[in-house]
């Protein structure tokens, strides 16, 4: 039996009981050794001594047994097992310490993680539920006194569970010690335990490599910031790098080349040439606020270039620099930068235009070695439509003409009524004549357009008359004017051709429309000739011939067209002549009046409105000029005499038909009392120059009409202003006679 | 270039474009180019029930070759000016064809 003088722990125990026990154990050991000696030498020892020693031993055992309750020492069974096996009990202790250390580390990690979690959770809770945070007991890991009930169980669970894990169910060291400690000191040991664990943990931490030691830090987002920032920047750089690989494939020269091609398709330096409609339209309507118009309108040359440039850029979806910068106003440097870039672009475009003009692109190109020429189509010279020549256009259109020769579809130019007056062998057929007239109208239009273009250019000419540019301009102007005059065909008032070319010219509405524009450029003599011709052939004008068609047979559409033509005539074709008349001398007026009366069947013509208007103006002019002048030169007296003669002639020819001056209302439309204004005006001017007898006869004829008008005005069936207007009209006439509408008694 | 010039004056006006496939789109004319391609904004299809796929579309680009009609307001058009512009255009093409013929013969 080997004894281990052991019990190194004996010195550690401060308990008195333990010391006593130690003595007892030592005593027992001595006794045992004595017994061993006596037993080893049986011949020398007495049986009594042996008995005495055995007795002593048993008595020490009994004492130890009695003392055991006073001791507070619990020796683990494993130590005894170690001793039985002959192993060093210290070995057990060292193993145990190792286990404790590792377990402690494990637990410490758990604690740290959970503490962190709790701290963050508490912070978030505090953030979102500030009110409830106070009620909840929050553990922030530093102050153990705030530990709630759950925390205790947390610790207990942790410790108990781990102890069970390591040591099996029979070993319950931790659990028992912890529970004992807890039972003894509920608060303190818990405070002590984490501290103890922590101190051990610190030791372990010093020994073991530090892994994921996280001191209390900021939340996860802030923690990740430098990383994500760096990551994103790296991504961005990488993207840029991949994109930049294909940069600068086109040189600036290539870009200019492409731009030149594209822009030269669109560009025009003279807006009137290619962009006519748009340009003129904007001029006539007053340019609506065009963005960036201010700086560009000043340069007339750059005007169209800038506009086209803007359009071209917009088409390609790019920003127009000048405007956008102007709108956003992002600081001076930027604005001036974009403006200058805009100016640079304009310069570039200008350069392109000049180059393109210097080297005009041939519409055809002949490649070397190819047989023949290839025509290049662009926006300027598009592919032409095939022109098929039809033979004998005259005969074909004649077939078309005859079915349409009745009154309803009477075309303006076909005065020959189906070739009644066409002699065989005569090259003039209605269709040919019509076409000739239309051609002359188009010639007139072309000439007028040229005249207007020249008039626009006149502003840009140099002032001195000797300049060759001025000479050319004058020459061009004169040529165009002559051409227009020739197209009108008003040179000869009376021709042997029926109807007069001018009458045919005026038969078309576009012919009527061109007259004022031409007259603007004609000389006085030419205007006189024009007026003369119109007057001489007045009754052949289509507007007068409308009167011959009774409005009952004609359809509503035709009468509408007639109305339109009449209006157009009165507003467009006649005013130049009237304006001329308004300034003409008495002799000229007399001459024209004489011509009118001679050439036209007055009574018949007087039923048409244009004739009435013309007569009104002429008579009015005569009346104005009839004021006797201080010098009674013989020419003037003669003119006055002539005027009186003419007047009488007119009156007699009108006599009896004056009631017909008032036109019947149009078919299907209610009679408008205001339509007769022109008739009343005519009657008034007629009455101006009338003698007393003529006045009597005048009144007698139109008496019914007057009464009717006054009745309508006074009856009150019309709105007030219309009634007033009707009364005014009647008064026009009556006042010249010295009467008034109020005097009329019904 | 005549109709290009004409449509340039119509920019900003309400027009109705009828296509060759019978789709009629009303909208404000935003831009036009030399091929008469049309860009419209704030569009609204005339017969919306037949074309439900156009419900969400606000702007569109129409190729010029598929347009059948463009309906305009007469007040925005100056017909006399348009006639003059057409005459000029006709004159210029006549001149060009004459020079072409002269060049061919030469």
Contact between residue A543 and residue A397 where contact means Cβ atoms under 8 Å apart: no
Closest CA to A310 of A289, A292, A335, A285: A292
- Dihedral of alpha carbons A281, A287, A288, A290, sign: positive
The predicted pLDDT at position A405 comes to: 39
pLDDT at residue A33 greater than cutoff 60: yes
Q: Return d(Cα A179, Cα A592) in angstroms, integer.
A: 142
When pLDDT is cut at 50, 70 and 90, the band that residue A141 belongs to is very low
Q: What is the pLDDT of residues A518-558, one digit of tens each?
A: 888 888 888 888 888 888 888 888 887 776 544 445 566 66
What are residue B71's DSSP bridge partners? Answer: B16
The predicted pLDDT at position A342 comes to: 64
The predicted pLDDT at position A190 comes to: 46
Residue A375 Cα, gap to closest chain B Cα (Å): 10
Q: Return d(Cα A549, Cα A542) in angstroms, integer.
A: 11
Average pLDDT over every residue of A410-414: 46
Tell me the residue length of chain B. Answer: 106
Q: Return d(Cα A336, Cα A342) in angstroms, integer.
A: 10
Q: What is the pLDDT of residues A105-115, one digit of tens each?
A: 999 999 999 99
Which of B3, B7, B11, B34 should one mutate to test binding to chain A, selecting the residue with the greatest count of A CBs within 10 A? Answer: B34
Neighbours of A384 (CB within 10 A): 12
When pLDDT is cut at 50, 70 and 90, the band that residue A237 belongs to is very high
> Which of A275-284, A424-433, A737-746, B76-85 has maximum average pLDDT?
B76-85
Q: Return d(Cα B79, Cα A237) in angstroms, integer.
A: 60
Q: How far is CA A580 from the centre of its chain?
A: 52
Lowest-confidence pick of A322-326, A648-652, B16-20: A322-326
Kindly state the helix (H) or strand (E) to which residue B14 belongs, with its residue range: strand B14-19
Structure tokens at A702: 């139109």
pLDDT at residue A715 greater than cutoff 80: no
Q: Torsions phi, psi of A733, nearest 5?
A: -75, -45
Q: What is the DSSP string of B15-83?
A: EEEEETTS-EEEEEEEEE-TT--EEEEEEEETTGGG-GGGTT--EEEE-GGGEEEEE--GGG--HHHHH
| Nearest chain A alpha carbon to B85 | A277
Which of B31, B78, B88, B91 should one mutate to test binding to chain A, selecting the residue with the greatest count of A CBs within 10 A? Answer: B88
What are residue B59's DSSP bridge partners? Answer: B41
When pLDDT is cut at 50, 70 and 90, the band that residue B82 belongs to is very high
The predicted pLDDT at position A257 comes to: 82
Q: Return d(Cα A338, Cα A326) in angstroms, integer.
A: 9
Select the more confidently predicted residue: A296 or A602.
Answer: A602
> Which of A23-32, A192-201, A610-619, B88-97 has maximum average pLDDT?
A23-32
Residue B50 Cα, gap to closest chain A Cα (Å): 31
Average pLDDT over every residue of A676-705: 79
- Dihedral of alpha carbons A162, A166, A168, A172, sign: negative
Helix ranges (H only) for A459-508 are 468-488, 501-507
- From chain A, the residues in CB contact with B102 under 8 A are none
Average pLDDT, chain A: 72
Neighbours of A437 (CB within 10 A): 23
The predicted pLDDT at position A313 comes to: 54
Tokens 């006054």 belong to: A710
Average pLDDT over every residue of A37-60: 82
The predicted pLDDT at position A304 comes to: 47
A275/B5 CB distance under 8 A: yes
pLDDT at residue A10 greater than cutoff 60: no
Closest CA to B39 of B3, B68, B8: B8
- Dihedral of alpha carbons A321, A324, A327, A331, sign: negative
C-alpha to C-alpha distances, A738 to A699, A742, A743, nearest whole angstrom: 12, 12, 10
Q: What is the pLDDT of residues A282-336, one digit of tens each?
A: 888 876 544 433 333 333 333 444 555 555 555 454 434 434 433 444 444 445 5
Closest CA to A158 of A200, A123, A108: A108
When pLDDT is cut at 50, 70 and 90, the band that residue A247 belongs to is confident
pLDDT at residue A164 greater than cutoff 90: no
Q: How far is CA A559 from the centre of its chain?
A: 47
Instruction: List the end-to-end C-alpha distance of chain B, in Å, as a whole number.
Output: 29
Average pLDDT over every residue of A333-361: 67
Residue B1 Cα, gap to closest chain A Cα (Å): 7
B33/A363 CB distance under 8 A: no
Q: Nearest CB to A281: which of B81, B96, B103?
A: B81
- From chain B, the residues in CB contact with A379 under 8 A are 1, 34
Q: Return d(Cα A122, Cα A130) in angstroms, integer.
A: 10
DSSP letter (8 states) at residue A361: P
The predicted pLDDT at position A604 comes to: 79
Q: Nearest CB to A513: which of B80, B82, B97?
A: B80
pLDDT at residue B63 greater than cutoff 90: yes
What are residue B16's DSSP bridge partners? Answer: B26, B71
Q: Find the angle CA(A185)-CA(A187)-CA(A193) to the nearest 5 degrees.
A: 85
Lowest-confidence pick of A84-88, A197-201, A384-388: A197-201
Kindly state the helix (H) or strand (E) to which residue A254 belongs, with its residue range: helix A252-266
- From chain B, the residues in CB contact with A510 under 8 A are 83
Q: Return d(Cα A410, Cα A651) in angstroms, integer.
A: 33
Q: What is the DSSP string of A22-82?
A: HHHHHHHHHHHHHHHHHHH-TTTS-HHHHHHHHHHHHHHHHHHHHHGGG------HHHHHH
A280/B8 CB distance under 8 A: no
Q: What is the pLDDT of residues A548-567, one digit of tens each?
A: 544 445 566 667 788 888 88
ipTM: 0.88
Q: Nearest CB to B87: which of A284, A363, A449?
A: A449
The predicted pLDDT at position B100 comes to: 77
pLDDT at residue A408 greater than cutoff 70: no
When pLDDT is cut at 50, 70 and 90, the band that residue B65 belongs to is very high
Q: What is the DSSP string of A182-215?
A: HHH-SSHHHHHHHHHHHHHHHHHHHHSPP-S---
Select the more confidently predicted residue: B68 or A546.
Answer: B68
Q: Return d(Cα A346, Cα A309) in angstroms, integer.
A: 8
The predicted pLDDT at position A557 comes to: 66
| Nearest chain B alpha carbon to A446 | B87
Give chain A's contact residues with B (Cβ, < 8 Å).
Answer: 265-266, 273-282, 284, 288, 311, 314-315, 363-364, 373, 379-381, 384, 442, 445-446, 449, 510, 513
Q: Return d(Cα A513, Cα B27) in angstroms, integer.
A: 34
The predicted pLDDT at position A545 comes to: 76
pLDDT at residue A492 greater than cutoff 50: yes
The predicted pLDDT at position A42 comes to: 73
Average pLDDT over every residue of A439-462: 87
The predicted pLDDT at position B71 comes to: 96
Neighbours of A194 (CB within 10 A): 20
Helix (H, G, I), strand (E, B) or coil at A364: strand
Neighbours of B102 (CB within 10 A): 9
């Amino acid at each position: 039996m080997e004894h281990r003088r052991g019990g190194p722990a004996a010195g550690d125990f401060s308990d008195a009981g333990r010391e006593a026990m130690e003595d007892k154990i030592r005593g027992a050991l001595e006794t045992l050794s004595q017994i061993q000696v006596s037993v080893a030498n049986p011949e020398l020892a007495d049986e009594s001594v042996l008995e005495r020693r055995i007795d002593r031993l048993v008595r020490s055992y009994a004492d130890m047994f009695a003392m055991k309750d006073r001791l507070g020492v619990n020796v683990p069974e494993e130590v005894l097992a170690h001793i039985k096996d002959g192993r060093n009990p210290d070995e057990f202790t060292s193993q145990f310490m190792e286990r404790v250390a590792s377990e402690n580390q494990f637990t410490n990690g758990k604690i740290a993680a959970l503490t962190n979690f709790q701290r963050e959770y508490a912070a978030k809770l505090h953030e979102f539920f500030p009110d409830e945070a106070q009620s909840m007991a929050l553990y922030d890991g530093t102050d153990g006194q705030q530990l709630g009930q759950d925390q205790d169980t947390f610790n207990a669970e942790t410790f108990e569970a781990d102890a069970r894990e390591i040591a099996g169910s029979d070993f319950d060291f931790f659990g028992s010690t912890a529970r004992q400690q807890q039972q003894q000191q509920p608060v303190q040991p818990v405070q002590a335990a984490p501290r103890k664990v922590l101190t051990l943990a610190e030791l372990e931490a010093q020994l073991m490599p530090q892994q994921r030691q996280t001191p209390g830090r900021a939340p996860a987002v802030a923690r990740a910031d430098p990383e994500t920032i760096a990551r994103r920047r790296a991504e961005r750089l990488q993207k840029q790098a991949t994109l930049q690989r294909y940069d600068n494939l086109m040189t600036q020269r290539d870009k200019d080349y492409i731009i030149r091609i594209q822009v030269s398709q669109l560009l025009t330096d003279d807006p009137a040439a290619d962009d006519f409609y748009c340009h003129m339209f904007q001029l006539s309507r007053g340019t609506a606020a065009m963005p960036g118009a201010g700086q560009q309108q000043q340069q007339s040359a750059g005007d169209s270039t800038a506009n086209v440039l803007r359009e071209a850029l917009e088409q390609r979806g790019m920003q127009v620099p000048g405007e956008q910068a102007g709108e956003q106003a992002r600081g001076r440097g930027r604005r001036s930068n974009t403006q200058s870039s805009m100016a640079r672009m304009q310069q570039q475009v200008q350069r392109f235009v000049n180059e393109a003009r210097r080297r005009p692109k041939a519409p055809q190109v002949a490649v070397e070695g190819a047989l023949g020429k290839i025509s290049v189509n662009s926006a300027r010279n598009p592919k032409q439509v095939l022109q098929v020549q039809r033979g004998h256009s005259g005969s074909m259109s004649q077939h078309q003409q005859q079915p349409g020769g009745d009154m309803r579809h009477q075309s303006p130019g076909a005065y020959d009524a189906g070739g009644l007056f066409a002699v065989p062998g005569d090259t003039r057929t209605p269709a040919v004549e019509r076409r000739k007239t239309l051609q002359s109208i188009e010639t007139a239009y072309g000439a007028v357009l040229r005249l207007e273009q020249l008039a626009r250019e006149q502003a840009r000419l140099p002032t001195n008359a000797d300049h060759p540019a001025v000479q050319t301009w004058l020459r061009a102007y004169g040529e165009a004017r002559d051409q227009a005059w020739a197209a009108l065909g008003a040179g000869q008032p009376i021709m042997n051709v029926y109807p007069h070319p001018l009458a045919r010219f005026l038969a078309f509405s576009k012919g009527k429309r061109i007259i004022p524009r031409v007259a603007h450029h004609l000389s006085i003599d030419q205007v006189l000739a024009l007026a003369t011709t119109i007057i001489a052939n007045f009754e052949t004008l289509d507007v007068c011939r409308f009167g011959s068609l009774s409005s009952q047979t004609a359809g509503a559409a035709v009468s509408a067209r007639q109305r339109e033509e009449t209006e157009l005539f009165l507003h467009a074709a006649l005013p130049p002549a009237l304006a001329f008349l308004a300034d003409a001398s008495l002799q000229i007026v007399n001459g024209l009046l004489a011509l009118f009366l001679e050439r036209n069947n007055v009574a018949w013509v007087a039923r048409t409105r244009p004739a009435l208007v013309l007569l009104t103006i002429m008579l009015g002019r005569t009346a104005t000029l009839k004021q006797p002048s201080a010098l009674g030169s013989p020419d003037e007296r003669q003119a006055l005499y002539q005027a009186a003669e003419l007047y009488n002639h007119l009156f007699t020819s009108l006599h009896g038909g004056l009631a017909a001056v008032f036109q019947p209302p149009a078919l299907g439309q209610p009679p408008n009392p205001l339509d007769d204004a022109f008739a009343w005006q005519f009657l008034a001017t007629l009455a101006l120059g009338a003698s007393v007898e003529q006045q009597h006869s005048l009144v007698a004829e139109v008496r019914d009409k007057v009464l009717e008008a006054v009745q309508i005005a006074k009856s009150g069936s019309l709105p007030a202003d219309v009634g007033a207007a009707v009364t005014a009209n009647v008064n026009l006439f009556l006042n010249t006679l010295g009467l008034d509408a109020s005097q009329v008694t019904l | 270039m005549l109709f290009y010039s004409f449509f340039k004056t119509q920019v900003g006006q309400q027009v109705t474009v009828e296509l060759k496939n019978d789709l009629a789109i009303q909208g404000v004319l935003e831009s036009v180019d030399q091929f008469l391609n049309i860009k419209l904004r704030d569009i609204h299809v005339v017969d919306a029930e037949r074309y439900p796929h156009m419900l969400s579309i606000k702007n569109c680009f129409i190729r010029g070759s598929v347009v059948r009609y463009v309906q305009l307001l007469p007040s925005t058009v100056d017909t006399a000016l348009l006639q003059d512009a057409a005459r000029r255009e006709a004159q210029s093409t006549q001149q060009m064809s004459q020079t072409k013929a002269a060049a061919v013969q030469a």
